[in-house]
Amino acid sequence: MIPEKIETTRGRLLLRYFTEADTQTVYDIWSNPANARFMDAPESLEDVRELADWNNGAIQHSTNKDIMCHFRVVTLKETGEVIGTCRWHFKKEGKEMGFGYNLAEKVWGRGYATELLETIIALAKKCEVKKLIGGADKENVASWHILGKYMNFVGEENYTESDGRVVVDRNYELNF
């Protein structure tokens, strides 16, 4: 079972469940133009609530919590400030784990993405998955450099966002 709160490997961050009080902050992070160019950004606070409700509902109503989507806000452990989000899910009967993350622009370059990825890798090992899968927008050079430090590049994939924008993701895998 995945704990409700997860301390990161270096101890500077805490991953916890999303609450209604986080809605505005998460919306501000996701809709910031620096972040929005790498994701299908929400158009409203309601979009953030719906995504969080879906994720939290899926977790709470599952009979096997280890096979569902897990959505957390990323906070600074020292202050509790929300600085981003992360999400992971299990596929192929728990043998594969996919993940994604998004951090506020104001905290880029401080090593938090690396710390978050190290924690996701440790979680995948603890859950005994055989393969960890992640990706980053082809234009998001910083993220694919971080992914490339720990994971193997496996190719690119094109898909279309809800706004019609075509995105090219660089995909990475780590086999255990």
pLDDT digits (tens, 9 = 90+) for 22-47: 999 999 999 999 998 888 778 888 88
Q: Residue 56: its pLDDT value, please? A: 59
The domain limits of the chain are 6-132
pLDDT digits (tens, 9 = 90+) for 122-159: 999 998 999 999 988 888 999 989 999 999 989 888 87
E runs forming strands in 41-165: 70-76, 82-91, 96-103, 131-137, 152-160
Q: Quick one: tokens of 2?
A: 């995945």
Radius of gyration of the chain (CA): 15
Kindly indicate whether the domain formed by 6-132 is annotated with CATH number 3.30.1490.20.
no
